[in-house]
Structure 1
């Protein structure tokens, strides 16, 4: 295998490693493909077969050792965007009908919600701004 053929074969190997990456969605194949590209560069610069294989192994292993833990850490993090009823907790609402510990109505995020007060002795009058502390079913708990 001469120098020109060696780098071509490494690029073919890199492209071949891209196929299982697309099919299986395993990022390790991308890291091996980058290792193959690095080996192609070393072949293009005149490195012998031992150097090419060492470059492939070192680059591939280094990428797996560094990138994989970072990717796993990002994958395990909860998304920062809260949705649904969790997004409504802590929001402000306006009282539409008097709210006490037995019930009432508020306007929350553009919608009318049934509500009740967190404290049994508290009551909120029409037009008053309140804070939503929790959602229980279809009822907002306010204070």
Structure 2
């Protein structure tokens, strides 16, 4: 290996030092640097055995970083894209469902804070929330509840 070039394990550790990565993400990012077949799998097995790779920590990290801005649908997509176990993803999304309405209201408030005055504004606000992964029922409740709260 030329001087100054990181080993495969060094590359993996550098990636892990920046943020949590799933095994599938590491495989995808490091496959081009594998020098012999099976080398990457052995290194990742070793890192996983030592606790450097943890799917549960990846899930918790994504939830911590993204839940305040995104709905459960969008977070589910991100977790699935990381190649995480389907059961773990479903469990994480289920946890988010309880706070979905409150989180959607907070996102709406930060972005708009003013009730839509016409159908075009209502559509714009609804699309904004839907694009962030909040489902249709939650979007309708956020936009309807704003009117209810202002009247009381």
Q: Same fold (TM over 0.5)?
A: no
TM-score (norm 1): 0.25
Higher RCO, 1 vs 2 (CA within 8 Å, ≥6 residues apart):
2
The structure with the larger Rg is 1
Q: Which protein has the bigger strand share?
A: 1
TM-score (norm 2): 0.24
Q: Which protein has the bigger helix share?
A: 2
